[in-house]
Homo-oligomer: A and B are copies of this chain.
């Protein structure tokens, strides 16, 4: 695993080059700003190491101790809770700008298994430096708390999905939520976007079986709702998808 020490100065990752919904990513932007500020000694206020990893690589183990907070810069990752039986429940998919584990902001353990899905680059920020920055710049804590609250709302909704919705609803909601997140990051072209998830990963995220996800996926295709060939997903009938998902 490469680990290149540097402050964030080079606009080498695509986050700089695209417009975002600030809502989603203002904390990330604040981190970047702070990384560029240098104190008297010409050292960056916030240092970080860059990591480039291939697919299926573990970024955090649930109980390992870390003194840094990884933030995704490019690619897809996933955050899940492993079970004793070997199966796992995926809580969220992580896209550029997202904190791999918000628990790592305050404590040493992630509590989740975080793994890359595609090639991923991420920056690991030093936790004590982030904490120091938050007490020095209260608006940073404020921004982080918004991230945390948003994450909580998402998890709450996931509970509702898992507890109370059918397979069709769960899949439709997953697709639409991902579409929105990708759109916020300028990663959607028209109605199509890259979709690197394997069916077993969709199954882990929806609390269903690989076999059943397959059937639902096939039925969505037959109904002309989506097209999914290779790693490209196209939404053909958004209205109907929203209707199935019980979303506006």
Contact = CB atoms under 8 A, between A and B. Distances in A.
A94 to B, nearest CB: 15
A159 B155 contact: yes
Interface residues of A, number: 34
Given A138-B135, A149-B103, A83 B160 contact: yes
A107 to B, nearest CB: 6
B155 A156 contact: yes
Contacts of A97: none
Interface stretch (A17-25, A84-92, A180-188): A84-92
A163 B207 contact: yes
Interface string A92-113: 0000000000110111000110
A56 interface: no
9 contacts: A81-B156, A81-B160, A89-B164, A91-B159, A106-B145, A107-B149, A111-B152, A111-B156, A135-B135
Closest 4 CB pairs of A and B: A163-B207, A106-B145, A162-B162, A162-B163
